[in-house]
């Protein structure tokens, strides 16, 4: 009846008169109060999932793409021209410093070494005879000095021949993993020909670039994490070791080198990695991003003030940085505050809630929903 009266009056009067009429009738309409309209009597509590505001390690991420390089890497080649007589690796083996990897034909050098050794014996005998004669004053001092000089000359020749023989053995200069071989026994090699590759992969160098505007945020020792498509579930930790001394005038970026431990030998030189730098590391208050209700430029959350009575209150907060699924809270909350992380879109000032679970590191939302569904079925 009141609705019909208002409709007829609205057609005969203007908006101002209608507003006065509503004000006059308001004592007779207690059911139209905001609280009654928001939360009708007898409505059950709204089921929600909560999450505690906790202090966590936080940083402002800076992402880039980088390429891996071995801690030490070398391409081994011969310094002489000759044929290959032995290859002591197949590829992929771990070798130690000093291990002989490739042997070249050294028959001619060994023959020259034997000749020099025989000549040394002859010169040594001559020195001994002259020394005996000089003791009896039967040989001039100049003869024995000349003989000793000739002996020293032969010794120098022997040292040179032994050094040249080392050139016919290609050895590992450090511990590492040898690459796949591309040569065969009998091949003629010359200086500069690639015989083997050797990489020290116990630690990896990760080279990447960042914009010059971020130079102030870089420092040696700054922590970072890196991921690769080869191992999508793994995160590799490292830190900045070197910052380039120059900025590229074309790209306006600066080169950075980080070091990553590779004890499991999973990383290989040449791999592409996505790098995340942890700038401004700090401890901060964190809540799930799903708990934040955006209201224009303001951000708010629903805080559960009483679990037993299901009371909630809307509270404006200050929001800082964001990362996947989480948001940094700069003001408005304290550690331990319980906020509504799922179901906040159905709440209003007069709502009461039923907390069906609290999501944390050990329990996610799907576990809570599954447990609730199983309980309802039982």
What does the pLDDT look like over 298-343, one tens digit per residue? 999 999 999 888 899 999 999 998 888 999 999 999 999 999 999 8
Question: What is the distance in angstroms between the CA of the first residue and the CA of the last residue of the chain?
Answer: 48
Neighbours of 342 (CB within 10 A): 20
> Running DSSP on this structure, what letter comes out for residue 155?
H
CB 343 within 8 A of CB 48: yes
For the chain, helix, strand, coil in percent to 5 are 30, 45, 25
Structure tokens at 1: 């009846």
Q: What is the pLDDT of residue 40?
A: 54
CB 18 within 8 A of CB 6: yes
Q: What is the pLDDT of residue 378?
A: 56
Q: What is the pLDDT of residue 33?
A: 38
> How do 188-189 and 338-342 pair as beta strands?
unpaired
d(CA 224, CA 257): 11
> Running DSSP on this structure, what letter comes out for residue 348?
-
> How do 353-358 and 46-52 pair as beta strands?
parallel
d(CA 180, CA 250): 38
d(CA 102, CA 177): 15
CB 152 within 8 A of CB 124: no
CA atoms within 13 A on the CB side of 327: 21
d(CA 256, CA 267): 19
Handedness of CA 161, 167, 172, 178 (dihedral sign): negative
Contacts of 176 (CB under 8 A, 6+ apart): 70, 72, 94, 95, 198, 199, 200, 201
Say what the pTM is: 0.61
Contacts of 272 (CB under 8 A, 6+ apart): 65, 66, 67, 68, 228, 229
d(CA 213, CA 259): 23
Neighbours of 255 (CB within 10 A): 16
Q: What is the pLDDT of residue 330?
A: 93
CA-based nearest residue to 340, from 289, 303, 377, 294: 303
Show pLDDT as tens, one digit a residue, over the chain (378 residues). 334 433 444 444 444 333 333 333 334 334 333 333 345 555 788 999 999 999 998 888 889 999 999 999 999 999 999 999 999 999 889 999 999 999 999 888 889 889 988 998 988 888 888 888 877 777 787 877 888 898 899 889 899 888 888 889 999 999 999 999 889 999 999 998 999 999 999 999 999 999 999 998 889 998 899 999 999 999 999 999 999 999 999 999 999 999 999 999 999 999 999 999 988 888 999 999 999 999 888 999 999 999 888 899 999 999 998 888 999 999 999 999 999 999 888 888 888 998 888 888 777 778 788 777 766 665
| Run of H or E residues at 231 | strand 231-247
Q: What is the pLDDT of residue 375?
A: 66
Residue with tokens 């200050």: 318
Structure tokens at 239: 């830190």
Buried b (16+ CB within 10 A) or exposed e, 270-299: ebebebbbbbeeeeebbbbebbbbeeeeeb
């Amino acid at each position: 009846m009141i609705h019909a009266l208002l409709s007829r009056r609205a057609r005969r009067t203007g908006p101002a008169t209608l507003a006065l009429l509503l004000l006059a009738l308001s004592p007779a309409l207690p059911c139209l109060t905001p609280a009654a309209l928001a939360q009708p009597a007898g409505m059950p509590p709204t089921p929600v999932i909560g999450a505690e505001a906790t202090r966590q390690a936080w940083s402002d991420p800076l992402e880039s793409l980088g390429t891996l390089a071995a801690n030490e890497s070398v391409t081994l080649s011969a310094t002489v021209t000759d044929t290959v007589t032995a290859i002591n690796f197949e590829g992929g083996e771990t070798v130690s410093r000093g291990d002989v990897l490739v042997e070249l034909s050294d028959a001619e050098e060994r023959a020259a070494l034997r000749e020099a050794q025989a000549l040394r014996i002859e010169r040594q005998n001559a020195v001994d005879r002259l020394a005996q004669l000089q003791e009896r004053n039967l040989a001039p001092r100049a003869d024995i000095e000349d003989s000793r000089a000739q002996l020293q000359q032969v010794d120098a020749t022997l040292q040179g021949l032994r050094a040249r023989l080392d050139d016919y053995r290609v050895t590992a200069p450090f511990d590492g993993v040898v690459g796949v071989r591309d040569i065969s026994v009998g091949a003629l090699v010359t200086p500069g020909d690639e015989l083997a590759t050797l990489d020290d992969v116990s630690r990896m160098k990760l080279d990447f670039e960042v914009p010059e505007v971020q130079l102030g945020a870089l420092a040696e020792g700054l922590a970072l994490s890196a991921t690769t498509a080869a191992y999508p579930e793994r995160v590799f930790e490292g830190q900045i070791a070197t910052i380039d001394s120059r900025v590229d005038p074309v790209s306006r970026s600066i080169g950075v080198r980080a070091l990553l431990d590779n004890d499991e030998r999973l990383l290989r030189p040449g791999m592409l990695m996505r790098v995340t730098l942890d700038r401004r590391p700090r401890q901060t208050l964190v809540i799930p991003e799903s708990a934040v209700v955006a209201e224009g430029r303001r951000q708010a959350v629903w805080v559960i003030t009483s679990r037993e009575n299901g009371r909630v209150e809307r509270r404006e907060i200050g929001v800082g940085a964001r990362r996947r699924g989480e948001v940094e809270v700069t003001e408005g909350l304290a550690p331990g505050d319980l906020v509504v992380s799922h179901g906040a879109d159905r709440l209003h000032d007069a709502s009461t809630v039923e907390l069906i679970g609290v999501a944390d590191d050990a329990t996610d939302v799907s576990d809570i929903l599954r447990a609730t569904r199983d309980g309802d079925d039982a």
